Amino acid sequence: MQKPRQIRVLPDHVINKIAAGEVVERPAAVLKELLENALDAGGRWIDVIINGGGRDLVSVSDDGCGLGRDEVLLAVERHATSKITDLDDIEKINTLGFRGEALAAIAAVSRFRLYSRPAAEQAGTEMTISAGKIQDLRDLGCPPGTTVEVRNLFFNVPARRKFLRTPATESGHIRHTFLTTALARPETGFNLTMDRRRIYSLPAGDTLEQRLRSLFPGLDYTNLRPLDLERQGVSVSGYASLPALNRADRSEQYFFINGRPAAAPTLWACVQAAYRGSLPAGRHPYLFLFIVLNPGAVDVNVHPTKREVRFHDPRLLRDVCTEALGRALAQPGPARAADPTPSTPATTHPPAAASLPALDHFLRAMSTPPPVRSARPLSTPLSAIGGAHPCPGRPPEPSGAAGTPWNWYQILGTIGGRFVVLETDEGLALLDPHAAHERVLYESLLRQYRERTTAAQPLLSPITVELTPTDAGRLRRGLEALRQMGFGLDEFGEDAFIIDALPVGLEDSNPGTLVREIAALLDEPGAARATLEEGVVRAACHAAVKATHSLPTQQIDALLKQLLAAEMPYTCPHGRPTLINITLQELNRKFGRD
């Protein structure tokens, strides 16, 4: 029988490494903790230097209050902090940091250097640490403020180091952390240098609008509306997008609570309530939301990395935020309000393919169409997307396509301006044209990609598109696949791309909007289910089918035939059904005519 192990108190160096696992997930987490310390120190200018995606160096310098010699020694002790003194302080935290464990955890898994000087002192203090052990402590001439350098992160924890992503991926996370922090404090000046290249130089004293324009140069600001409301001690300010400006994920929603980047389920519920009925399913607005309330009314000590907070009165916060968003959305905008149906995303993309333009307006115009009979079998071949019908008087040639469910059909009309209703020889069928269009376009592009027959249509003039760091990283991962599909895409600066060609079939799309949508969709759970290449094609199709011009009845007819000739006609690439069949037997049973 195995002897039970004795309970022991772990040594400090083991405790620090365990703490590092919670606090220091990756280089971006190191940067976050150092930036919070710099802001809490009152820094008006903060310089950030990154090398090797943060593996080699993360350096943060500030011009804040600085540390004396004794404080430098205490700063790297576990749970040593100047921000709280007793239990009551935890209930009303008004600083970004407060636990006093970040520097100790970082120093335990890196080669660490800190030097600092208060403005009133003649000399500063330098301390170097390796793997949690102090190597040197000495006086140093340095400017007022504090500099922390973290080198060779996880050098003594190889298991953690090998799980870091590529330098490009880690750099993307670092840039997102920097961007979020710089957005939270527009009054503070920030510099970011990565691998000896200056990425951002943001002046102190910016307004929020100026900071937004520096960090998001490609954003459509005509569709942003300001928020400004205060109720019962809760202040809500910032900007929210009109429904016409939206995207496929929540990555461009930023919430700040008392200057701290954080989120909470209550805030997401507010957004859903404010935009309900004005955004299609799966679409999300751009948000830059700043909430100020009594520090005692919010609990920031619920997550190891302080990413999520809880509110003591979530109902009050929900009511104020929902009212603020509602007022912002009520302001008139230059763009048409979004259609509340899922088939009309409010980004109002131009038509995706010349042969299958725009399904939405067609469906609205078809509310009472005359019956159109078709005696042609649905196996009639089409030479290409939107191909011609057989010549009059000439019998159609069978295509051999399997799975054709009917011998004839007629278009009866639409339901809800969204679904096409068909009478068939077997009963009733409902068609979702958007899902059908996406399936047809997906199989066409994927087939051309696999057979290397994709043709590119050059643009009249190249277009430059600015992306967020997150979207730029996603697009880089799929860049080669996009080029092989016929996209003329090249990097043009840190987060900018130049587009000079689109695949044939997508040439009528807005290139910038299409590329932005593809970048956002590439990170969806199903976007790369099988291979990256299939994921790129799926994202391109999903982005391209959002069209806004009318579709003639003949093209609905052509779309249906193309759909039924597809390999997988009954679902779109994301798994949504394209067709629903209701047989006469089912109808008889439902009406009691068995």
Domain ranges of the chain: 12-206, 218-330, 360-436+552-590, 455-544
pTM for the model stands at 0.68
Neighbouring residues of 333: CB distance < 8 A, sequence distance ≥ 6:
222, 223, 225, 242, 244
Closest CA to 579 of 442, 434, 430: 430
pLDDT in tens, 346-355: 333 333 333 3
* Mean pLDDT of all residues in 105-124: 94
Q: How many residues are given for the chain? A: 594
Q: What pLDDT sits at residue 124?
A: 96
Q: Are the C-beta atoms of 413 and 421 separated by less than 8 Å? A: yes
**DSSP codes of every residue in 114-162:** EEEE-TT-SSEEEEEEETTEEEEEEEE---SEEEEEEESTTTT-HHHHT
Residue-level pLDDT at 378 = 31
To the question of domain 12-206 being in CATH 1.10.600.10, the answer is no
Q: What SS3 class is residue 396?
A: coil
DSSP code for 351: P
| pLDDT beyond 80 at 376 | no
Architecture of the 218-330 domain = 2-Layer Sandwich (3.30)
Burial class (CB in 10 A: 0-12, 13-18, 19+), 62: buried
Fold of 455-544: Ribosomal Protein S8; Chain: A, domain 1 (3.30.1370)
Average the pLDDT over 464-486 and give the result: 85
Give the three-state DSSP class for 420: strand
Greater confidence (302 vs 463) lies with 463
Write down the CATH number for the domain with range 360-436+552-590: 3.30.1540.20
pLDDT in tens, 538-571: 667 766 665 434 456 777 788 888 888 888 788 8
User: Over the stretch 190-242, which tens digit does the pLDDT of each residue have?
Assistant: 999 999 999 999 999 999 999 999 999 888 898 899 999 999 999 999 999 99
The three-state (H, E, C) secondary structure of 207-243, written as one string: CHHHHHHHHCCCCCHHHEEEEEEEECCEEEEEEEECC
